[in-house]
Amino acid sequence: MASTTKIMTAIIVIENCDLEKEISIPDEAIGVHGSSIYLEKGEKLKIIELLYGLMLASGNDAAVALAIATCGSVKKFVDMMNQKAKLLNLKNTRFSSPHGLEQGEHFTTAEDLARLSAYAMKNPIFQKIVSTKEKEIRWTTREYNRKLKNKNKMLNQYEGADGIKTGFTRKAGRCLVTSAIKNDFRIICVVLNAPDMWNDTKKILDYAYTNY
């Protein structure tokens, strides 16, 4: 599922943490492979700032920092992710990391991701974060701020789109979870390993709004 994993990471953090709490960035979160917000040693950031870094810029380093802030270790956080998956009846889902880089058994289905996303979008804080196109957060070891731009092009390309998350690894292919709302009717669309994910998603959403 690549970085669509971060949907679960974000909702767990939102439900279990004081989002205004400022944390010191742990060493484990520095230099994490893949997409990053370039966290640095000695930095302090609020949990809410890290959540924007997680969901807009898809920061793998932010995922590790948030996991440790929530549970004390990445391993304990992954256990929490799998417990939450059971609670939400995601029968074909298994997590091994908070960011989506495969570190063992790490898989899901489009249906499970849609269920998880429908649940997460009921949370107003989650909803606000994933619908944000651009956000400035602090960079406490430098004289300027981080400017985050949401990687989800659907926010600009589809009427009513208000989330949620892109993902890509070589193993997973291109993944996209989209939320759109028109006339108070929300549709969650999930495409996995979809080379033409933007157009595939638009077609599915158009079909759903036409037929339901």
97 has catalytic annotation: no
Q: Which of 35, 58, 96, 97 is catalytic?
A: 58
Q: 68 with 82: CB under 8 angstroms?
A: no
Q: Which of 3, 96, 117, 131 is catalytic?
A: 3
Distances in Å between the Cα of 27 and the Cα atoms of 64, 69, 79, 210 are 10, 12, 21, 50
d(CA 185, CA 172): 30
179 has catalytic annotation: no
58 has catalytic annotation: yes
d(CA 108, CA 192): 10
Q: Which two tokens stand for residue 120?
A: 């997460």
Catalytic residues: 3, 6, 58
